[in-house]
Amino acid sequence: MSNVTSGLARIEINNLSMRGYIGVLEDEMRYKQDLRISLTLMYDAIEAMENNDIDAAVDYQKVVDALMPHVENERFALLERLAQELLGKVMEFQTIVYAKIKVERLLALRFTDSVSVTLTSRRSTNPRVYNKKDGISGSIALVENESNHGKTRSNPRSASLAG
């Protein structure tokens, strides 16, 4: 068994293809548009890791299954609204402490691959990943420490996070 004491895991679902009604023009509302959705989900995986227990992990298939009918059956004027509603559905999974969603509409403009909107949400009440003194969640520290074009941004307060 590993001596890992903190278990904030990141799940990435990349380039999920869907079709949905998005836009304000008559043709956009009559015909489904090609969409691509990417998600980053973070959750406290210590129990899942310690017990090798799938029931303690985030079931990413269930997350995708919650999104698909919403995209395929509802109508949206704005990518922002679609992203907001999908992010809300993701955050209904109580074990998820941080989520980022990117919704792309393919071939929305000439000479582009896509137009996209990205939204994030975080839950800051999980005691394993939240430091009340500083008001910082572990998910923030992990996100802020991601590489930025080869340069690492540091978070001087990340060392004070509860683990």
Structural domain count of the chain: 1
Predicted local confidence at residue 141, as pLDDT: 32
Identity of residue 94: Q
CA-nearest of 112, 120, 103, 113 to 22 is 103
**Is 31 within the bounds of a domain?**
yes
What gap in Å lies between CA 62 and CA 48, rounded to an integer? 17
**Is 1 within the bounds of a domain?**
no
Predicted local confidence at residue 128, as pLDDT: 53
**Is 138 within the bounds of a domain?**
no
**Is 38 within the bounds of a domain?**
yes
**Is 80 within the bounds of a domain?**
yes
Domain limits for position 111: 8-123
**Is 49 within the bounds of a domain?**
yes
| Exposed e or buried b per residue across 26-47, where buried means at least 16 C-beta atoms within 10 angstroms of its C-beta | eebeeeebebbbbbbbbbbbbe
Predicted local confidence at residue 5, as pLDDT: 56
CATH code for the domain of 94 = 3.30.1130.10
Predicted local confidence at residue 139, as pLDDT: 36
**Is 46 within the bounds of a domain?**
yes
**Is 158 within the bounds of a domain?**
no
Residue-by-residue pLDDT tens, the chain, 163 positions: 555 556 899 999 999 999 999 999 999 999 999 999 999 999 999 999 999 999 999 999 999 999 999 999 999 999 999 999 999 999 999 999 999 999 999 999 999 999 999 999 999 754 454 444 434 344 333 333 333 344 433 333 333 333 3
